[in-house]
Chain A
């Protein structure tokens, strides 16, 4: 890494109706540097990068590329200037090959036709040069998520990117794949490429970045070399106060079995078996975490337990009562509380008020209603109490739920589920999309509920979350339990099981 600056953004300001997304933000990136951009939801990271990538126009400030001022009217301009961006959600065409995807739009031509051989050769050269192992002839629909990401990176490199923006690159990866990605980043760096790494995972940022810029509420807080920073110092800069990063919890004191799943089989809506013979128990006062890569049957498992999906065979027993029928109401009445993975589509009726949302499960029960007659004032009164108790900010009982921030929406969901005093609490991706402060709150709350004697089933794609909260960990792979751990276990071991590679017990 040299001291030479390839990119300077000075005093960038971007205003959206009613909010200043970027307020005089400075960012400078050196040649061959990995520069992390860190910040909470809505801190302005995306806005800043979208400005750099030509997707937004800034209201004030200037961008200097290799010392020269530039104006990008579109992403095309930015790509031409040597800026590449890998979005969190890949934009690849599954029915085309890796090489075809990479050259799309800038194809080498053989008169009018695509020169397939040249395309494949160039892609192969690139992938060898940066140790980005991927088969140019493979169909994108048939490669793994980690490989898809490499294709996206190759796509940017193929277009001549010198500055590569990676938006939350590890969010979709297993720990092993993340390791490989870091190796790729190192090799890009060695080749003189500059990388802007957007993340909210403090440990990752500290590991991979040379320097870190922290944004908070649209303003740049600091740019620090990662060597001098700690997780605590970064969290403080992000949130603006001290944050408890380590979840503190007493050892679990498991009681009776409250949730028991026996040889469960569930199919998805296309009839494909998604849960294939899963059995486990969750006891009162313990948190059982289910780790796994997205799409390995977690969603179907939860939907079955909460009565939202028909089960093929097997049994689900809640507090001693076996439930055969797939009826959400029956599960709710049996004492299952459910923090769903998609709070905006499932957990809340966004157009309903907070009060109406809090009554979602028991609007028809006294005192909310009698003989089919609803008492809105009672809904409001109850909501007002819970809003205070759970510290929901941004509105009162009559505020539309859709008008709240993500963290406060989740608090409404949590308030509703916990206030019903469930025996079993199912938390699916409870902190997805939330920022450090809200995550801290939710983690503390989940442990508090465990200590109240509830049986907690935690499903998360964040391995870190599973590791720090769970008393027992189950790993799910292709609809089967691939491993079970109590006590200390390494991230590597679980990561291996998440990919189906069960380590043989030593003979």
Chain B
């Protein structure tokens, strides 16, 4: 054989050696989850800082206070005493992180099968609704089965909700972006009806307010760090950590994950290998929805306990999951870090910031600004890699022309 080594470099290693633009991109690709997302996040924070500066404040001080507000300064003097401000703040950040990990996984899993799940929010809401219903009913059950039923029901409901989009894609080719967005709206209006005046899940005691019943004590998740009445960090946090491990195991250590990845990379090659593409599209979407539904269950049973019509438009963790997954490169570890980053931002910007440091109107929106910038940059990065890959694809084709 003489086919080795005569063509243009096709492995990143070869390209990286030459130090050209091409090599830098290959290096980025090879570094995979690290260089690009870190740069993306840094640039997003930089631009966020410029906006803070434009309002006449020192961005470094603003970021320092957000850092402290999120309880991340806890690592300088760690303590389990929840009375300490930093410990309390950290517990709240981790509570947000719990939800974001699962919402991130909901996007990441579908992505690994080649689909873009924009419906995390709808699947999350469905999880909330079902957990509230199951958590309020069966009130005389003992805690463990009650919690398992509520969590299991919400998870399955989230899976079924996302499965609709997967089924539509597999059978009639409806694009999952469109159908998941529509399913989001259906979930939103379903909530308006469920908890609204006279709705089936509206508060039984007070028919005047469009709010749900409270989850029974037997279905509430045990607090793990803090006082339950003061919104403690509950054991749901460990469920999210377990979900990260399960996500990794499914993708890398099961035949299901092998199929999902094969379909995600190349549906045609997967079909040739004997893998059913349709089955995997439905299944991957359902697993995605299960993660989001689980997020809804943990929030409902962990600290929300009830949910009102007015809470629906305010909630957006499902969408934040998109930024988390994109920043985390759709990997388990990346999603964990992305969730921590956005969890800290969410909590750190919404309380205790002095107006001397940052304009109050800007504070809460800084998270969403950084979220938007991250999605934009990650999207642009995908675009750049896409253009780069097209160039790489074009070159071998030109080469083949003279076979």
Contact = CB atoms under 8 A, between A and B. Distances in A.
B4 A394 contact: yes
Interface stretch (B10-18, B61-69, B132-140, B211-219): B10-18
Please indicate which of the listed interface residues B21, B255, B270 has the most CB atoms of chain A within 10 Å of its own CB. Answer: B255
Contact of A328 (B1, B15, B274): B274
A261 B6 CA distance: 42
B256 interface: yes
B23 interface: yes
Interface string B251-280: 011111110011001101111111000000
B401 A168 contact: yes
Interface in A370-418: 372-374, 376, 391, 393-395, 399-400, 402-408, 411
B2 interface: yes
Interface in B366-403: 395-396, 398-403
A135 B113 CA distance: 50
11 contacts: A40-B6, A42-B399, A43-B402, A168-B402, A239-B2, A240-B2, A352-B261, A363-B255, A369-B255, A403-B10, A405-B7
Interface string A335-351: 00010100001111111
Nearest to B269: A349
B257 to A, nearest CB: 7
Is chain B's binding surface mostly helix, strand, loop or mixed?
helix
A89 B9 CA distance: 24
Contact of A19 (B8, B271, B273): B8
Interface residues of B, number: 46
Interface in B1-54: 1-12, 14-15, 17-18, 20-23
Contact of B272 (A241, A308, A356, A359): A308
Given A394-B11, A405-B7, 6 more contacts: A41-B6, A167-B402, A347-B272, A360-B262, A361-B273, A363-B255
A356 B6 contact: no
Contacts of B254: 369, 372-374
A76 interface: no
Contacts of B15: 17-18
Please indicate which of the listed interface residues A49, A329, A346, A349 has the most CB atoms of chain B within 10 Å of its own CB. Answer: A349
A19 B370 CA distance: 40
B7 A50 contact: no
Interface string B336-373: 00000000000000000000000000000000000000
A438 interface: yes
A503 to B, nearest CB: 32
Interface stretch (A124-132, A315-323, A429-437, A473-481): A429-437
Nearest to B20: A17
A87 interface: yes
Contact of B1 (A17, A19, A43, A391): A391
Contact of B256 (A168, A198, A372, A435): A372
B3 A408 contact: yes
Interface string A234-272: 000001110000000000000000000000000000000
A37 B403 CA distance: 11
A437 B265 contact: no
Nearest to B393: A344
A319 to B, nearest CB: 18
Nearest to B272: A346
The 10 closest A-B pairs by CB, nearest first: A407-B3, A42-B7, A18-B9, A329-B274, A17-B22, A360-B273, A403-B11, A45-B402, A437-B2, A351-B265
Nearest to B17: A18
A39 B11 contact: no
A99 to B, nearest CB: 27
Contact of A46 (B17, B18, B274, B402): B402
Contacts of B272: 306, 308, 328, 338, 340, 346-347, 360
